[in-house]
């Protein structure tokens, strides 16, 4: 499968709404039809250096909210603290779960979600954004939580392949395992 997407780029900080922290990355900027660049984690986890610790329900909610708000595609940027690519590994495990189907999956068009490192985020935004510095300002409340990256139209093309693997069911009785 080949995925191609192009559009205006929007920086959405940590990409979430958190009334108890007074954060809403979705209200201050129109993301409808745009490619949204946002970070894993939260402002608090960024400040305390734990933004690399994956929280599946929190990250899934952020993705769902951004897509419901009309994002054309999402670019999830891993944490600066994620030196072992834990974010990518966790997402890879989550995505692989879909393959445990007895029937061939019938897929509707999946949302376009890409995962990049902070260095790639800097390159995508050109000289208009310094990823780590921008997140530091957002996490400390010194910068807008989201904004359009002016004069930055990007095009992404990615190729994905899937293999079908035939398996057989195995049933066993392990002696002593039944009380």
Tens digit of each residue's pLDDT (9 = 90 or more) over 89-120: 776 776 665 554 445 445 456 678 888 888 88
| pLDDT for residue 136 is more than 90 | no
pTM for the structure as a whole: 0.74
Pick the residue with more confidence: 65 or 111? 65
Number of other residues whose CB lies within 10 A of the CB of residue 39: 31
Q: What is the widest separation between alpha-carbon atoms in the chain?
A: 68
The CA dihedral of 122, 128, 131, 135, to the nearest 10 degrees, is -160
State residue 78's pLDDT score.
Answer: 86
Number of other residues whose CB lies within 10 A of the CB of residue 52: 19
Take residue 66 and report the two structure tokens written for it.
Answer: 């951004």
Give 153's pLDDT tier (boundaries 50, 70, 90).
confident
Give 179's pLDDT tier (boundaries 50, 70, 90).
low
State residue 172's pLDDT score.
Answer: 62
Find, among 36, 26, 30, 115, the residue nearest to 74 by Cα: 36
Q: How many alpha carbons lie under 13 Å from residue 71 in its C-beta half-sphere?
A: 30
């Amino acid at each position: 499968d080949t995925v191609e997407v192009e559009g205006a780029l929007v920086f959405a900080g940590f990409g979430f709404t958190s009334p108890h922290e007074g954060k809403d990355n979705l209200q201050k900027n129109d993301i409808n039809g745009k490619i949204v660049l946002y970070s894993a984690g939260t402002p608090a986890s960024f400040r305390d250096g734990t933004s690399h610790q994956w929280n599946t329900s929190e990250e899934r909610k952020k993705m769902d909210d951004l897509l419901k708000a009309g994002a054309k595609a999402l670019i999830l940027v891993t944490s600066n603290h994620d030196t072992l690519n834990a974010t990518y590994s966790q997402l890879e495990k989550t995505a692989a779960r879909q393959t445990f189907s007895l029937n061939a999956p019938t897929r509707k068009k999946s949302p376009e979600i890409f995962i990049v490192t902070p260095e790639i985020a800097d390159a995508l935004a050109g000289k208009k954004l310094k990823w780590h510095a921008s997140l530091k300002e957002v996490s400390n409340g010194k910068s807008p939580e989201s904004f359009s990256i002016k004069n930055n139209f990007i095009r992404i093309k990615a190729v994905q392949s899937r293999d079908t693997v035939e398996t057989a069911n195995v049933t066993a009785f392990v002696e002593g395992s039944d009380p």
